[in-house]
């Protein structure tokens, strides 16, 4: 398991805990930070998984980027708990695949 995958998993799990525990105005800062980490580190992880090509890990790294954007965007239809749960599950999948 790469250090980038660990960082993605920690950020996604922190977003999941924050979305589950913190009230509405206080949750925005941790979600924005986790979303930024998911987007930036997800791009680096996707590049690392592309050479040598690991299809499951590559797909999960690519999924981290739009999920990170969804954590930062505070639209009325975005449910941060669901997005954080998807981000966490997408980072656990390559670990379980081994």
Asked whether the predicted pLDDT for residue 10 surpasses 90, the reply is: yes
Residue 92's domain spans which residues? 3-97
pTM of the full structure: 0.91
pLDDT digits (tens, 9 = 90+) for 19-41: 999 998 899 999 999 999 999 99
3-state DSSP percent of the chain in helix, strand and coil, to 5: 80, 0, 20
Would you state the structure tokens that stand for residue 86, as one six-digit string? 């998807």
* Cα–Cα distance measured from residue 77 to residue 62, given in angstroms and rounded to the nearest whole number: 22
* Cα–Cα distance measured from residue 48 to residue 25, given in angstroms and rounded to the nearest whole number: 36
- Count of domains forming the chain: 1
């Amino acid at each position: 398991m790469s250090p980038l995958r660990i960082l993605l998993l920690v950020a996604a799990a922190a977003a999941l805990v924050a979305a589950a525990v913190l009230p509405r105005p206080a949750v925005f800062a941790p979600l924005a930070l986790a979303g930024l980490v998911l987007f930036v580190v997800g791009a680096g992880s996707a590049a690392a998984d592309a050479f040598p090509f690991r299809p499951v890990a590559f797909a999960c790294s690519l999924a981290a980027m739009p999920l990170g954007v969804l954590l930062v965007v505070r639209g009325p239809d975005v449910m941060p708990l669901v997005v954080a749960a998807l981000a966490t599950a997408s980072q656990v999948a390559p670990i379980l695949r081994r």
